[in-house]
């Protein structure tokens, strides 16, 4: 298995005609590199002019820091990180943002758009030129208190950010309130005459032409338009626009119209400013020699370039097939035609004719660059000069910065987790700034098979028996006053009391049960320099029971009850039940304005509509964000914060809807545990409706008890595939309850 290489036409399109030999660095063509270059250039489309890129202050520095923190040098040589002569910023940033579209299946680190822009700026830093005329509006962005919507005095104050943008609006702001933006540019007026300008803003805005105030639109207010006009001559004029945002809504729009121009948003195409830009060298047409092209094509065919690269050249395919390649073990030093071939050839004499699984894995990890970052069996790892630039996010030593050792990884991690990590670059160590490339499903499955065969032979993935008592013991042990796991680990995204170690909610999905048990009982034996302490030292049977209880508690994932010691901000409006239920009256989306949401310590939640009393929602994990109810009372409709959200199609009551038989709320009472009991009247019948969570091996469920208090209650549950509603193990359907009788319904989803 080899790493897919770029199509040759893609490589040829990026060739620098001035220094073409660099493209063949590490390939061995015995002096005919020039002919091969001529052939490659014949495959390239006609060169297009490179475009200059205006850059904001600090972009190059941010990109350089990212290159160090992400350990780009682990895989790239210094020459790989200086691309100023072969590409422009637009092409390079696009490649970094979506490498799968441009790198023909090669794995690469995932980057955000801002990160890709910054890294591209750093890699092209020698293209930087000051004072270049660039299209657009220069800006200075300030973060400071705006008490009244007027323009503050910024004398001697450095802006939070600056640069060039294509639109004058609020999209560049980094927060929702308390900021100001100043735009400036040279405006190219296309004709003599009366020019009309307007701003629409929430809050204040002002527009000056040649230092003269034309639009005055100040104050803390909803979106308001103000206009102004000036006679202007054709040609350049100084433009300045200022904007302030105190709070509430934020909007800025700058309009203009004049001779031959209908009213429109002031476009960047008529404005320019002096900026720092990345200016790539322009590419020249290359005069190609047909004889050299033919010789280069033949040399490439003989060198089997198509073994690694896609070749879009019919004449290449029509050439005679090259002579049969020598067996791997017969290659002599100097005969390998790939980069770093000499290092590989030193191993040829030790390789058997048919490579073992271990050898296949070793070769694959070498080809895919795994050993550039990871170690396995004492091989590989980050170079010292690369590792010294890594950023420490949490104070947990080397474990908090470097990628993990892959020795015995197949025995340690579940195959399903390994597949996600290798295929998608899935991450569990949020404190490690470095990132995992995504290698795709096919390659990931091959790696998982290799790791399973080499590491997991004889492993029995036997989980401890589930019980609610084990869950409660595990929760107690993980919290403060127990084994204090929460002192160093996050839980369901909630901060720990100390370093923010791996989230405990992910560990059951991630770790195989046997390794988990061994890790907790003897961590320093498995990893001598780990910060994980040995907490069970007695060697008694209770040690194993404790560890199994923690495993059982973790099996509930994000639905696991939070342990004592989880950090919950008392001022936050994010509601988190820890020891008792939280009952929150709220406007629930698509339900009604009178609802009751019940958050439980078991992290299995439900909600009632109180207008037409009925159960409406079930979900797990996080409970609710109460800002929509309590912040500003703007009536924001609330949805669950957690996962596995189910909308319940509740039962109907026989005769309901006839005159005088609509459901109405009689009131509520509370159990001693704090759960609500909803009392409802419908016609001649009344009933009590109570729900509580119950933990189960499948995650959790809600147990609902409906008790007829008066009259006769005939109810019918609609069928649904979204969740299961059962009574005594059978699907609920139609049930008749006399006074004093109850029906228990279990909801599973």
pLDDT of residue 26 exceeding 60: no
In three-state secondary structure terms, 146 is coil
3-state DSSP assignment of residue 708: strand
- Over its C-alpha atoms, the chain yields an Rg (Å, rounded) of 34
Q: Which residue has better confidence, 241 or 160?
A: 241
Predicted confidence band of residue 569 (pLDDT cuts 50, 70, 90): low
d(CA 422, CA 113): 22
Question: What is the C-alpha separation between 129 and 139, in angstroms, rounded?
Answer: 19
First to last CA, the chain: 42
289 vs 549, higher pLDDT: 549
Q: List Cβ<8 Å contacts ≥24 apart for 499-504.
A: 499/394, 499/395, 499/396, 499/400, 499/431, 499/531, 500/393, 500/394, 500/430, 500/431, 501/394, 501/396, 501/431, 502/428, 502/429, 502/430, 503/428, 503/430, 504/478, 504/554, 504/560
The total number of structural domains in the chain stands at 4
Which tokens hold the place of 510? 């991630």
pLDDT digits (tens, 9 = 90+) for 699-718: 899 999 999 999 999 999 99
Burial track 430-461 (b if 16+ CB lie within 10 A, e otherwise) = ebbbbbbbbbeeebbebbbebbeebbbeeeee
pLDDT in tens, 210-239: 999 999 999 999 999 999 999 999 999 999
Bridge partners (DSSP) of residue 747 are 702, 725
Cα–Cα distances in Å, from 627 out to 586, 612, 624?
10, 25, 9
Instruction: Write out pLDDT tens, residues 609-635.
Output: 999 999 999 999 999 988 766 654 445
681 in any annotated domain: yes
| Residue 153 sits in the same domain as residue 222 | yes
The CATH number given to whatever domain includes residue 186 is 2.60.120.1560
DSSP class per residue in 611-663: TTTEEEEEEES--EETHHHHSTT--PPB--SSEEEEE----EETTTTSTT---
| Position 571 confidence tier, pLDDT thresholds 50, 70, 90 | low
Residue 682 preceded by cis peptide, ω within 30: no
Residue 266 lies in a domain: yes
Rounded average pLDDT over 457-471: 94
For CA atoms 167, 170, 171, 172, the dihedral sign is: positive
In this predicted structure, the answer to whether residue 645 has a pLDDT above a threshold of 50 is: yes
Measure the CA–CA gap between 76 and 379, rounded to whole angstroms.
19
Specify the pLDDT at position 353: 47
Q: Which residue segment(s) compose the domain that 608 sits in?
A: 574-748
Query: Strand 53-54 relative to strand 261-265: parallel, antiparallel, unpaired?
Result: unpaired
Q: What is the mean pLDDT of residues 725-741?
A: 96
Q: Are residues 593 and 740 located together in one domain of the fold? A: yes
Q: Cβ distance 740 to 732 under 8 Å?
A: no
- The pLDDT-based confidence of 1 (bands split at 50, 70, 90) is very low
pLDDT in tens, 12-24: 665 554 445 555 6
Average pLDDT for 559-577: 82
Residues 445 and 496 in one domain: no
Residue 367 lies in a domain: yes
pLDDT value of position 570: 61
Q: Report how far residue 115's alpha carbon sits from residue 93's, in angstroms, rounded to the nearest whole number.
A: 9
Please, what sign has the CA dihedral across residues 154, 155, 160, 162? Answer: positive
3-class DSSP state of 678: strand
Over residues 72-94, the pLDDT tens digits come to 999 888 776 778 877 889 889 99
Q: Please, which residues have CB within 8 angstroms of residue 687's CB and are 6 or more apart in sequence?
A: 679, 680, 706, 707, 708, 709, 713, 737
Band of the pLDDT at 114, cuts 50, 70, 90?
Answer: confident
> What is 287-356 written as a DSSP string?
---HHHHHHHHHHHHHTTGGGTS----HHHHTSPPPPPPPPGGGPPTT---STTHHHHHTTGGGS-SS--
Q: What is the pLDDT of residue 718?
A: 94
**Residues of the chain with pLDDT > 70: what percent?**
88
* Predicted local confidence at residue 13, as pLDDT: 61
- In terms of Cα–Cα distance, which of 670, 663, 603, 649 is closest to 747? 649
CA distance 546 to 548: 5
624 with 708, same domain: the answer is: yes
Which of 455, 477, 501 is the last residue before a domain boundary? 455
Task: Identify which of 208, 203, 216 has the alpha carbon closest to the alpha carbon of residue 244.
Answer: 203
Asked if residue 27 is part of any domain, the answer here is no
Where would I find the beta strands (DSSP E) of 176-332?
179-189, 193-202, 205-209, 212-217, 224-232, 235-245, 251-258, 261-265, 271-278
- Of 605, 519, 582, which Cα lies nearest the Cα of 554? 519
pLDDT for 586 equals: 87
The full DSSP string for 504-555 is GGGHHHHB-HHHHHHHHH-HHHHSTT-S------S--HHHHHHHHHHHHHHT
Do 543 and 677 reside in the same domain of the chain?
Answer: no
User: Would the pTM of this model clear 0.75, i.e. be above it?
Assistant: no
More confident site: 135 or 123: 123
| Same domain (yes/no): 380, 517 | no
Residue 189: both structure tokens together = 């007026």
Say if residue 158 is in the same domain as residue 271: yes
- Is residue 698 very low, low, confident or very high in pLDDT (cuts 50, 70, 90)? confident
- Give SS3 for 201: strand
Q: Which residues contact 635 (CB under 8 A, 6 or more apart)?
A: 587, 593, 628
- Lowest model confidence (mean pLDDT) among 61-70, 285-294, 589-598: 285-294
Kindly state whether residue 90 falls inside one of the protein's structural domains.
Answer: no
Mean pLDDT of 653-665: 84
Both structure tokens of 335: 């005969």
Residue closest to 308 by CA, chosen among 104, 444, 108? 104
pLDDT of 343: 45
On the question of pLDDT at 334 being above 70, the answer is no
Mean pLDDT (the chain) is 87
- 530 and 582 housed in the same domain: no
* Cα–Cα distance measured from residue 172 to residue 165, given in angstroms and rounded to the nearest whole number: 8
In a domain? residue 50: no
Residue 304 forms part of a structural domain: no
| pLDDT of amino acid 556 | 94
Taking only the tens place, the pLDDT of each residue in 378-429 is: 999 999 999 998 988 887 888 889 999 999 999 999 999 999 999 999 888 9
At residue 340 the predicted structure's pLDDT band, cuts being 50, 70 and 90, is: very low
pLDDT at 597 over 50: yes
Q: Half-sphere exposure of 611 toward its Cβ, with a 13 Å CA cutoff?
A: 10
289 is a domain residue: no
Q: Which of 208-212, 269-273, 395-399, 523-527 has the highest mean pLDDT?
A: 208-212
Would you place residue 269 in the very low, low, confident or very high pLDDT band (cuts 50, 70, 90)?
very high
pLDDT band of residue 2 (cuts 50, 70, 90) is very low
pLDDT over 60 at 662, yes or no:
yes
When pLDDT is cut at 50, 70 and 90, the band that residue 294 belongs to is: very high
Query: pLDDT grade, residue 568 (50/70/90)?
Result: confident
Instruction: Using the structure block, give the residue that is written with the tokens 């493209």.
Output: 23
Q: Which residues in 184-217 are b (16+ Cβ under 10 Å) and which e?
A: bbbbebeeeeebbbbbbbbbbbbbbbeeeebbeb
Cα distances (Å, whole numbers) of residue 210 to 185, 195, 217, 232: 11, 13, 18, 10
Tally the residues of the chain. Answer: 749
Q: Which residue has the higher pLDDT, 516 or 527?
A: 516
C-alpha 423/C-alpha 480 separation (Å) is 37
* pLDDT at residue 310 greater than cutoff 90: no
| Same domain flag for 600 and 742 | yes
522: domain CATH number? 1.10.760.10
Q: What whole-number distance in Å separates Cα of residue 320 and Cα of residue 302? A: 9
Residue that is last in its domain, among 426, 455, 484: 455
Q: Do 619 and 587 share a structural domain?
A: yes
Half-sphere exposure of 674 (CA within 13 A, CB side): 13
Q: Which residue among 276, 298, 329 closes a domain?
A: 276
Q: Percent of the chain beyond pLDDT 90?
A: 60
- The answer on 678 and 600 residing in a single domain is yes
Name the more confident of 399 and 583: 583
Q: Are residues 673 and 739 in the same domain?
A: yes
* pLDDT at residue 16 in the model: 53
């Amino acid at each position: 298995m080899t790493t897919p290489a770029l199509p040759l036409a893609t490589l040829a399109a990026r060739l620098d005609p001035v220094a073409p030999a660099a493209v063949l660095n590490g390939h061995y063509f015995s002096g005919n590199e020039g002919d091969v270059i001529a052939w490659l250039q014949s495959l390239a489309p006609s060169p297009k002019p490179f475009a200059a890129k205006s850059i904001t202050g600090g972009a190059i520095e941010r990109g350089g820091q990212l290159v160090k923190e992400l350990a780009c040098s682990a895989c790239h040589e210094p020459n790989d990180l200086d691309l100023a002569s072969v590409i422009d910023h637009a092409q390079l940033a696009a490649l970094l943002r979506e490498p799968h579209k441009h790198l023909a299946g090669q794995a690469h680190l995932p980057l955000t758009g801002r990160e890709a822009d910054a890294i591209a700026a750093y890699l092209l830093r020698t293209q930087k030129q000051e004072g270049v005329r660039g299209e657009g509006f220069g800006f200075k962005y300030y973060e400071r208190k705006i008490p009244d919507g007027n323009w503050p005095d910024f004398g001697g104050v450095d802006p939070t950010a600056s640069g060039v943008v294509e639109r004058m609006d609020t999209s560049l702001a980094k927060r929702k309130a308390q900021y100001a933006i100043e735009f400036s540019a040279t405006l190219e007026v296309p004709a003599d005459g009366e020019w009309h300008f307007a701003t629409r803003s929430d809050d204040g805005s002002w527009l000056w032409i040649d230092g003269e105030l034309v639009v005055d639109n100040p104050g803390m207010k909803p979106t308001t338009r103000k206009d102004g006009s000036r006679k202007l001559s054709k040609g350049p004029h100084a433009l300045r626009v200022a904007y302030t945002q105190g709070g509430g809504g934020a909007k800025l729009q700058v309009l203009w119209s004049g001779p031959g121009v209908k009213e429109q948003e002031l476009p960047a195409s008529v404005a320019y400013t002096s900026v720092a830009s990345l200016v790539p060298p322009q590419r020249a047409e290359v005069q190609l020699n047909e004889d050299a092209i033919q010789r280069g094509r033949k040399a490439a065919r003989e060198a089997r370039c198509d073994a690694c690269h896609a070749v879009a050249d019919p004449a290449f395919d029509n050439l005679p097939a090259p002579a049969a390649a020598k067996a791997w073990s017969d290659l002599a030093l100097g005969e390998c035609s790939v980069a770093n071939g000499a290092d590989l050839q030193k191993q040829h004499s030790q390789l058997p004719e048919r490579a073992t699984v271990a050898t296949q894995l070793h070769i694959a990890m070498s080809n895919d660059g795994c050993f550039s970052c990871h170690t396995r069996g004492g091989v590989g790892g980050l170079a010292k000069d690369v590792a010294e630039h890594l950023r420490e996010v949490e104070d947990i030593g080397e474990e908090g910065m470097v990628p993990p050792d892959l020795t015995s990884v197949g025995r340690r991690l579940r195959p399903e987790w390994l597949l996600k990590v290798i295929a998608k670059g899935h991450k569990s160590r949020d404190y490690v700034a470095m990132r995992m490339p995504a290698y795709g499903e096919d390659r990931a499955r091959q790696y998982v098979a290799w790791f399973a065969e080499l590491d997991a032979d004889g492993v029995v993935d036997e989980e401890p028996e589930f019980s609610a008592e084990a869950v409660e013991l595990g929760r107690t042990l993980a919290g403060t006053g127990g084994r204090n796991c929460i002192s160093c680990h996050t839980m369901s995204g909630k901060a720990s009391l100390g370093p923010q170690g791996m989230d405990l909610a992910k560990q059951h999905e991630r770790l195989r049960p046997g390794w988990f048990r061994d890790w907790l009982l003897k961590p320093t034996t498995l990893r001598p320099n780990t910060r994980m302490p040995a907490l069970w030292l007695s060697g008694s049977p209770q040690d194993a029971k404790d560890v199994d209880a923690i495993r059982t508690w973790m099996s509930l994932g994000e639905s696991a009850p939070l342990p004592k010691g989880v950090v919950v901000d008392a001022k936050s409006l994010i509601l988190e039940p820890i020891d008792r239920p939280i009952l929150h009256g709220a406007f629930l989306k698509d339900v009604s304005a009178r609802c009751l949401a019940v958050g439980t310590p078991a992290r299995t939640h439900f909600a009632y509509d109180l207008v037409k009393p009925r159960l409406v929602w079930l979900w797990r994990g996080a409970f609710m964000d109460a800002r929509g109810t309590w912040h500003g009372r703007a009536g924001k409709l609330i949805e669950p914060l957690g996962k596995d959200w189910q909308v319940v199609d509740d039962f109907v009551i026989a005769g309901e809807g006839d005159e005088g038989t609509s459901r109405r709320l009689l009131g509520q009472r509370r159990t001693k545990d704090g759960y609500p009991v909803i009392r409802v009247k419908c016609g001649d019948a009344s009933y009590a409706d109570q729900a509580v969570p119950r933990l189960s091996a499948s995650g959790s469920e809600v147990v609902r008890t409906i008790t007829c208090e008066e009259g006769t209650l005939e109810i019918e549950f609609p069928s649904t595939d979204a969740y299961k509603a059962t009574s005594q193990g059978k699907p609920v359907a139609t049930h008749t309850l006399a006074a004093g009788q109850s029906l228990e319904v279990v909801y599973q989803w």
